[in-house]
A = this chain, B = another copy of it.
Amino acid sequence: MQESMSNVYNAKMPEIVVQKYGGTSVGSIDRIKEIAKKIISSRETGKLIIVVVSAMGNTTNKLLDITKQISNNPSKREIDALLTTGEQQSIALLTMAIQEYGHSAISLTGFQAGINTVGDNCNSRIFEINYDKIYELLQQYKIVVVAGFQGINDLGDLTTLGRGGSDTTAVALAAKFSCPCEIYTDVNGVYTIDPNIFPSARKHEVISYDEMIEMAKLGAKVLDKRAAALAKKFDVPIYIAKSDGTEVGTFIRRRDLVEENSIVGIALRQDLISIKLSNITADEVLNVIDGFEGMGVELISVHTVLEDDEKISVFLTSTKEYTSIIEKVEDKLKKRLKGLKIKSNSNLTQLSVVGDGLKNQAEVFTKIFKTLRDNDINYKTITSTDTNITFYIKEQENYKAINSLVREFNL
């Protein structure tokens, strides 16, 4: 959203809260009914509620699969026209469920909610929210159920915000209405390591926006990185928890309100592919990168290394889902660039140790090296910044690596 975006604030109105429910929370009609009851119990505390929902379960992936029967490269505008039906169905069904339990509610698609976007289809950004309609409905004490992940651009085309887009919708609405944002998901908060991967990970009671952004950037899935950055920008208090509400989750706050963790945790990005392309001239480098990006391959990192006066090597990482496209691009590039050498590695994990304590890098760096070596773990490359130390390991060594680091750093 734009820096200039103005907030809505009316001191006479009751407290407002945005609640976001992800795909698994609305994965079945029974789950939708449970969520409806939960929303009503929040409403009954006197708060005004804006609900943001994703499409039911894996609807979005199912719809994408259908398009593959028609085209390998369907128009992004039409993909968005198709995908936006997913959230539209969930908002209608959730609204019906809330109404069935006797509360006043209304569904709004992205365009009805005034969510205006800019940028390409399938990867648009929220530019502004025309909040009049939501504001008016809240004043009528209605529970307002908004479709996440979607909006409308100035051509009147339906758009989507890319992966994690519903988080962004929720945080943007909370920013607009100067209110807190509760994100309900399938884990109970922010952990030192994704508990789906490492069940004995420790849960944070509170972390800072910066820590969350860093974790999200490096692969933590609990909150989208764009949503986390937006929350920081507009100072939106976030609370992340499981939708069943049995356990306290994690609060995300401004840095000055949080006792920072020296190490926040370990972020993982699994199922990676690394591609090393060598014997390339400087003129050819952009062609090589465009060759992948032009075919829609999402590149997680791009590094170039000067081999000698003339030749350059390019190191790319992407994810398993692009395997077949990557192979096609590699074949094309080999035909076009004589002398090109390609080496790919699949089943890699990117493992990042994240935290403000890494400003004192030398010591931690040494400790990590030593831990990996002592545990016979092979790492491929390693990078480091003020806030993270990142390396690649073979997938089969994930557990051993995490376990040794958890012991060493007391995570």
Contacts and interface: CB of A to CB of B under 8 A. Distances in A.
Interface in A69-90: 69-71, 74-75, 77-79, 81-82, 84-85, 88-89
B82 A99 contact: no
A74 B96 contact: yes
Interface string A111-138: 1100000000000000000000100000
Given A29-B66, A32-B70, A70-B29, A109 B93 contact: no
B88 A75 contact: no
A204 B158 CA distance: 43
A80 to B, nearest CB: 8
A181 interface: no
Contacts of A99: 71, 74-75, 78
Contact of A29 (B33, B69, B81): B69
Copy count, this protein chain: 2
Given A70-B33, A77-B106, A93 B88 contact: no
Given A78-B107, A109-B158, A158-B109, A70 B96 contact: yes
A183 interface: no
A82 B74 contact: no
Given A66-B29, A93-B66, A158-B109, A84 B74 contact: no
A82 B75 contact: no
B71 A82 contact: no
A342 interface: no
Nearest to A99: B75
Contacts of A77: 106-107
A117 to B, nearest CB: 15
Interface in A22-54: 29, 32-33
A82 B78 contact: no
A100 interface: yes
B100 A71 contact: yes
A92 interface: yes
A199 interface: no
Contacts of A95: 75, 78, 81
Interface string A267-278: 000000000000
A156 interface: yes
A346 interface: no
Given A33-B70, A67-B93, A70-B93, 5 more contacts: A32-B70, A67-B96, A84-B88, A88-B88, A112-B158
Q: 3 tightest CB-CB pairs across the interface, nearest first?
A: A85-B85, A82-B92, A81-B92
